[in-house]
Structure 1
Amino acid sequence: MRDTDIAAVMRIQAECYPTSMLESEEVLRARLALAPATCWIWSSTQQSAAAYLFSYPSNKDAITALGGQFKLAATPDCLYLHDLAVAPSARGRRAANALVAAALAHARVTGLAWSALVSVQQSQTFWVTLGYASVEVTHSPAKKNLGSYHVADSQSTPIYMLQRVI
């Protein structure tokens, strides 16, 4: 992902999430600036960016709040997948699978033993097919940060998920 992709990322985000879950352009730009090697764009030959993934080196059991700034771990053991979105026009083309595969390959190459994420919008089944399992979060501030993903008008409950990658 490059700085010039942020406009497309903002468009995709607006197409995929309710207003209460949208993150600001300022936050997205700061994330890209902090961890450019772990932020990806997917595009087809027919269109510009149609999917994206923001991730960063972290520690297992650390959760970034919705809209929160990424904090790179001093000694990371986990690649935290913060936000994966696929534009409706690109669904069914395995864009999400390609982005996650790139992220997991990066985690392995850089020696990160784990990958973690928060499943939202009833996406848990998708993540399970990719090898993630739900994990109960009982400690603060992770539990508080997990709660930031709860959307009042949604039937979906945010779920912390983890996968061992090496």
Structure 2
Amino acid sequence: MIQLKALAAAHMPDVLRIQDGCYVEIEPESRESLQAKILASPGTCLVAESAAGVVGYVIAIPVRYPDLPALNAPTFQPATAADTLYIHDLAVADAGRGTGAGRALVRSAIDAAKGRGLASACLVAIQGSVPYWEQFGFEKVAAPPDRVAAKLASYGPAAQLMRASL
């Protein structure tokens, strides 16, 4: 059985372990970068736990679209007039695959965003994950704004900006 909990400092070793095991096309982010985002929006950053321990996490932050944080940025300040939940990172360890952990994490983060009055969500899909995100109503953004293009490129040539209405 999967339980969701607020992502806390004590979970960082698990987050880094899961991140390291999941991301093969980009270099995993630093602890500093992840913690800056988590501290900025604790209500939308969660872990999924099972009998095996922490098996997944989501780091999602409020932004003013299209102003997205750069990959591995050491600091992050939430937008004062945020309108969008940016799902920065979702990762599920092998021990959590097939348990519904990823789906539960995404739905919970989206529900929290709706509770905050955010009108949309966005993300950068990598490693062939576009079909996964389409299940949640995300659609490819045909031509990302110029100021997002360089940030998007840092995720690799196949990275795809996606957006959904909440």
TM over 0.5: yes
1:53 aligns with 2:58: yes
1:76 aligns with 2:77: no
1:5 aligns with 2:11: yes
Q: What is the letter of the counterpart of residue 8 of structure 2? A: R
Equivalences for residues 96-111 of structure 1 within 5 A = 96-111=102-117
The TM-score normalised by the length of structure 1 is: 0.90
Q: What is the letter of the counterpart of residue 135 of structure 1? A: V
Return 61-70 or 103-112, whichever deviates more: 61-70
Equivalences for residues 7-156 of structure 1 within 5 A = 7-18=13-24, 20-44=26-50, 46-68=51-73, 69-150=75-156
Contact (CA 8 Å) 2:92, 2:101: kept in 1 or not? yes
What's the secondary structure of 1:141's corresponding residue?
A: helix
Match of 1:159 in 2: 160
What's the secondary structure of 1:161's corresponding residue?
A: strand
**Structure 2: any 5+ residue segments left out of the alignment?**
1-6
Contact (CA 8 Å) 1:38, 1:55: kept in 2 or not? yes
Contact (CA 8 Å) 1:63, 1:146: kept in 2 or not? no
**Cα RMSD for the two superposed structures:** 1.4
Runs of 4+ in 1 over 3 A off after TM superposition: none
What's the secondary structure of 1:121's corresponding residue?
A: coil
Relative to structure 1, the CA distance from residue 26 to residue 113 in structure 2 (aligned partners, 3 Å threshold; closer, same or farther) is same
Contact (CA 8 Å) 2:71, 2:154: kept in 1 or not? yes
